[in-house]
Structure 1
């Protein structure tokens, strides 16, 4: 019954091993006596050959010689062969001792040596022939039209990926060469393929070897190093894939399937930002936490991360019911025991906000509710003031009145020397927060950061949609640059900044180096499989009203202090003239609801760093 399930290949190996054991047993005698075998020892082997054979084959079966995939045999399989033959030789020694037969000691050593050479040799020879035939398309899938692969990184990860490709007849790929910056690896071979040079050779090698795909297999590389390599690779016409991170090595998950396409986050030139979750736990755990604008991109991610840290109650406020419903259902699925309350309300409604605070008494408030679309707000400045300025004022006032512990405003780099009404209203929000921070028991702070990848209305989703529609991809100006973060990164830093809050600070998040929007558009087209300005056109539309070529994170009068997390800086609080602010807010409120035509001018009177274009 057993033999019915054994394949022809395994049966062949089994028969060969029987022959190998017999050859080893008699061969050891021949070697020991230099061809002149003494009759006593020859008769001894003849007498016990069946026991020697049975013992050895039993050990081979026990050590799974006939269930291993010898096509993928490595040093570990070779070690098993040596161990099996040593155990077999020792077993035969015990057998001869038990039967009180005299066998010279060197026979056991020679027997194990010959048996190892025969059993190991046939298996690795089989692997060599199989791979040789696969390479030439004579066995399994033909590789004549196989995708030609260059692997960047001749280390453990690169070795494992190359080994999988070389050993598989399912992957119609062939590794052609390696690139590695280490001097000692130059000109060396890995899995039979040459390390043809350092990263400077990528372009030359891709043409010389007619490369179709480039695999970046350096999981230990920093974000900046990975970006530099990607920038070089993007100049080729090759598809580019990258191994995500070091944890793949640690979890033994390095394989072709672990490789992923280049993502826009890879172009930020820095590593994923890490935070101290313990600090967040300390001040969020068992607290009543409120998130305004909780259905938006930032607000919903705040809710996700806060939910992980065991709040006593999570209150989500949003004016748009669909977004609020989606995040509510997501959190209930992930955290069935969470105490979450979703309230549909506008931060403009001061009475409603006051009632909510009176009923729920939140300990911590994250104020993310805001109008943020620059071009839309340029055309509706009164709405920007109503929602951003007075929405913030109403929530801050309620936080002060009901003695919340912390109030964290989500601000923007556009609040620094603003050139648009959205940025100017956010600067007023910061002023409101700092004014309350000077006199309140509540710790009022603002967190300022730049553009967030993938958020509603951000440039990346727009580019992707334009690419899907066949172009053109629209960029306002060839030299425009922006700071970028992922949504989880921005939110995690907001949460940690909240842990540092003492009152009145403006926290500035270090977002790395600014990124050129044109480069983002170009690379996004390339990584989507198209050629920029051939398949997909890039058009320059000109700067939009209120748009800058570059954003700033700090005003001239603000100094910088560091925090334990070096990616979070503290801008020195600026003295706020509370009387002027109070009077200006009254004028703005009346003017906004009177639908004034000169709102930008009134905002400029309060924010003297606001530069606007007069109509």
Structure 2
């Protein structure tokens, strides 16, 4: 029991000391105000050190301190909000003291000037010790810290840079020696005693002059073009550099505000934040029953997160991969425990599975993300590409039509435009079927096309990471090959926006920004690891693979695309096809899949896609390029 008592006293002692200090300052401010007022009189009067007025003052002011939460703040981190709290407490306390003393004795013993001067004195007497204590603690850390600290330069003297510098002053690992910022008005200014040394263009010179060991990028709201410029400047110094997270990563909970991290390729290739009509998106999904096929994949899983976040009544996931389904189910149940979630293992191309799932879930909105997408892998596996990408889409679309689903969104690809690969051709057939079914159904069928998604499974970014980690070489098919890129969350948010815009039968293409040369991507990823392309990690050019294009397209010339109500979404004009011809060829394709007759499948593709040039061997231009290399 004595040990417990000692521990209890130890816990309340610091807080009790603060209470005693603050009430002492209240008394001192009152007496000092009285003394100043009396000293200005022609005949100075003695100061009353104690009396009923002082007792009323202490009781009222203590209650006000407790009400304003003044005792909950820590002196170690005293700042402007604490000072504002003191101002509130002083002004409120003086008003209540005046009212109480007026009721007690009509203020017969208290001069009005004392009541006016007292709050100002109290703010000084309470604020100065707090700020002084914080300054002493910060200085003490700097003076008595024996561990070596790393000299750092902060890029960006805005709010993020100021907050980062303030946080780093409490740590022993870093010593901020300056800021650089393009705002000319900040030149020569100081933040927390640290000077702004110049502009970003002079970064290499400034970094050498002040002998910094690391650069910290504090520009969370910068555009991707600005970020690329900053990273190039950092790389030119030869110093290590880190960055604070992007604002959208902080808001979404993926990162802490002042968490320092390495610059990722997504920070440079991801595009500027997209402005979405969230009111319309919520109205299209809130309270709805939603089904996502392929919900365990890169795009499907992010769609599930977005749908859950937007308040869907229920979410059903149809996924063939047991592990992927398990992983997304566990994540969703932990993050949204109130969501009605049904995770189903099954093939979207199995008619019996689709029928059973639709009867059980009764979905109102369906996102069809289940597909095979790896171009080289599918190039000599025509049967699987058509079965999973084309016929499975037909199965899901027909089931949506039978059950009166409000809307189905097909997730397609830019490789379906003028397809040169089996994967692109199989997705184009899926687009054609949904477009033509839309005019014959109550369900709104729409298609969304976009290019490569950063860090999706099987994409080039994780492949390059593994190759760089292994020491190289990084394999690029062609020095001039380009691709469009966007982040997974952005792609899914634009899919949701397109779902609201669509009336049925449309093909929406997402604005992918400027295409990126894969060679530049490889070089940038190598440099971000602190290595030099061509010296530390080699880049090997392997030649275009069968079915691969040098550049991708988002529209066919005959589709006559136009703008929509959203600046980042374009609308392609559908190209009609004979419904009888389409169904006849798909019936032949279904039989060919059952018979494993790939020759018949080739004939079906040639009939449905006359422009599709079948390529099983490399183009002559590629062979010539390899020979020249």
Q: TM-score, normalised by structure 1?
A: 0.78
Partners of 2:477 and 2:543 within 8 A in 1: yes
Q: Which runs of 5+ in 1 are unaligned?
A: none
Distance 2:409 2:483 in 1: 24
SS in 2 for 1:291: strand
1:162 aligns with 2:162: no
Q: Which residue of 2 aligns with 1:391?
A: 392
Q: 1:477, 1:542 within 8 Å by CA — same for their partners in 2?
A: yes
What is the 5 A alignment of 1:185-264? 185-236=186-237, 237-245=239-247, 256-257=258-259, 259-264=260-265
Corresponding position of 1:575: 576
Deviation (angstroms), 1:328: 4.0
> What's 1:342 paired with?
344
After superposition, give the CA deviation of every residue in 1:551-595 in whole Å (9 maximum; x if it has no partner): 111111112233333222210111324455445445545555444
For residues 419-467 of structure 1, give each alpha carbon's deviation from its aligned partner in whole angstroms, at most 9, with x where no partner exists: 2111111112212222223433433321111112232212222233334
Distance 1:438 1:81 in 2: 69
Q: Secondary structure at the match of 1:565?
A: coil
Q: Please state how far the C-alpha of 1:550 moved relative to its aligned partner.
A: 2.1
**Structure 1 SS opposite 2:504:** coil
How many Å separate the matches in 2 of 1:164 and 1:430?
53
Are the structure 2 counterparts of residues 419 and 83 from structure 1 closer, same or farther at C-alpha, using a change threshold of 3 Å?
closer
Q: Does 1:608 align with 2:610?
A: yes
CA contact (8 A) 2:494 2:510 kept: yes
Contact 1:275 / 1:496 at 8 angstroms: preserved in 2? Answer: yes
CA distance in 2, matches of 1:244, 1:420: 37
Instruction: Report the CA distance shift for 1:513/1:142 in structure 2 as closer, same or farther (over 3 A).
Output: farther
Change (3 A) 1:12 1:172: farther
Which residue is 2:154 aligned to?
Answer: 151
Q: Find the counterpart in structure 1 of residue 411 from structure 2.
A: 410
Aligned to 1:426: 427
Q: Which residue of 2 aligns with 1:268?
A: 269
8 A contact 1:187–1:194 mirrored in 2: yes
Distance 1:551 1:583, change over 3 A: same
- Is 1:508 paired with 2:512? no
Is the aligned partner of 1:327 residue 2:310?
no
How large is the Cα RMSD of the aligned pairs?
A: 4.9
CA displacement at 1:309 relative to structure 2: 5.2
**How big is each residue's C-alpha offset from its partner over 1:76-125, in whole Å with a ceiling of 9 and x where there is no partner?**
5666778899989x989x99x98x99999999999999998888767656
Assess, with a 3 A threshold, how the Cα gap between structure 1 residues 350 and 588 changes in structure 2: closer, same or farther. same
- 5+ unaligned residues in a row in structure 2: which ranges? 1-5, 618-629
The DSSP-based 3-state class of the residue aligned with 1:184 is: helix
Deviations 1:191-213 (A, max 9, x none): 22222223323333333333333
SS in 2 for 1:196: strand
2-side partners of 1:452 and 1:115: how far apart? 60
Distance apart, 1:231 and its partner CA: 4.5
- The answer on whether the counterparts of 1:240 and 1:527 sit within 8 Å (CA) in structure 2 is no
Q: In terms of mean alpha carbon deviation, does 408-417 or 104-113 score higher?
A: 104-113
Using a 3 Å threshold, how does the CA distance of structure 1 residues 68 and 310 change in structure 2: closer, same or farther? closer
Inter-partner Cα distance in structure 2 for 1:219 and 1:448? 29
Cα deviation, residue 214, structure 1: 3.2
C-alpha change, 1:276 and 1:101, in structure 2 (3 Å) is closer
1:464 correspondence with 2:468 = no
Whole-angstrom CA distance in 2 between matches of 1:562 and 1:345: 36
Secondary structure class of the residue paired with 2:340: coil
Q: Which residue matches 1:479?
A: 480
Q: Output the CA distance in 2 between the equivalents of 1:285 and 1:82.
A: 45
Aligned partners of 1:310, 1:11: CA distance in 2, in Å? Answer: 47
Cα displacement (A) at 1:397: 3.6
**Alpha-carbon distance in structure 1 between the residues aligned to 2:261 and 2:282:** 33
Counterpart Cα distance in 1 of 2:39 and 2:240: 58
Q: Name the CA distance, whole Å, in 1 between partners of 2:352 and 2:182.
A: 64
Whether the 8 Å CA contact 1:160–1:254 is kept in 2: the answer is no
Match of 1:450 in 2: 451
Question: Which residue in the other structure is 1:561 paired with?
Answer: 562
Name whichever of 459-468 and 522-531 sits farther off.
Answer: 522-531
Question: CA contact under 8 A between 1:416 and 1:552: conserved in structure 2?
Answer: yes
Structure 2 CA distance, aligned partners of 1:498 and 1:387?
Answer: 23
1:370 pairs with 2:371: yes
3-state SS, counterpart of residue 548 of structure 1: coil
Native 8 Å contact 2:243 2:261 kept in 1: yes
Asked whether the 8 Å contact 1:417–1:611 carries over to 2, the reply is: no
CA contact (8 A) 1:293 1:299 kept: yes
8 A Cα contact 1:186 1:195, kept in partner: yes
Matched residue SS, 2:271: coil
Q: Is the partner of 1:557 in helix, strand or coil?
A: helix
Match of 2:625 in 1: none
Equivalent residue number for residue 624 of structure 2: none
Residue by residue over 1:479-520, the C-alpha shift from the partner in whole angstroms, topping out at 9 and shown as x without a partner, is 333222233332232233223332221111122333333444
CA gap of 1:344–1:198, structure 2 versus 1, over 3 A, is same
Q: How many pairs were matched up?
A: 599
In 1: Cα distance, 2:310 partner to 2:89 partner: 53
Give yes or no for contact 2:87–2:123 (8 Å, CA) kept in 1: yes
Are the equivalent residues in 2 in contact too, given 1:27–1:114 (CA < 8 A)? no
Q: Matches of 2:214 and 2:507 in 1, distance apart?
A: 46
Cα offsets for 1:332-364 (capped at 9, x unmatched): 5534551626252350x4565466667766544
**Residues 268 and 512 in structure 1, CA contact (< 8 A), matched pair in contact too:** no
Report the alpha carbon displacement of residue 127 of structure 1 after superposing the two structures with TM.
Answer: 5.3
Question: Structure 2 vs 1, CA of residues 233 and 101 (structure 1 numbering), >3 Å: closer, same or farther?
Answer: same
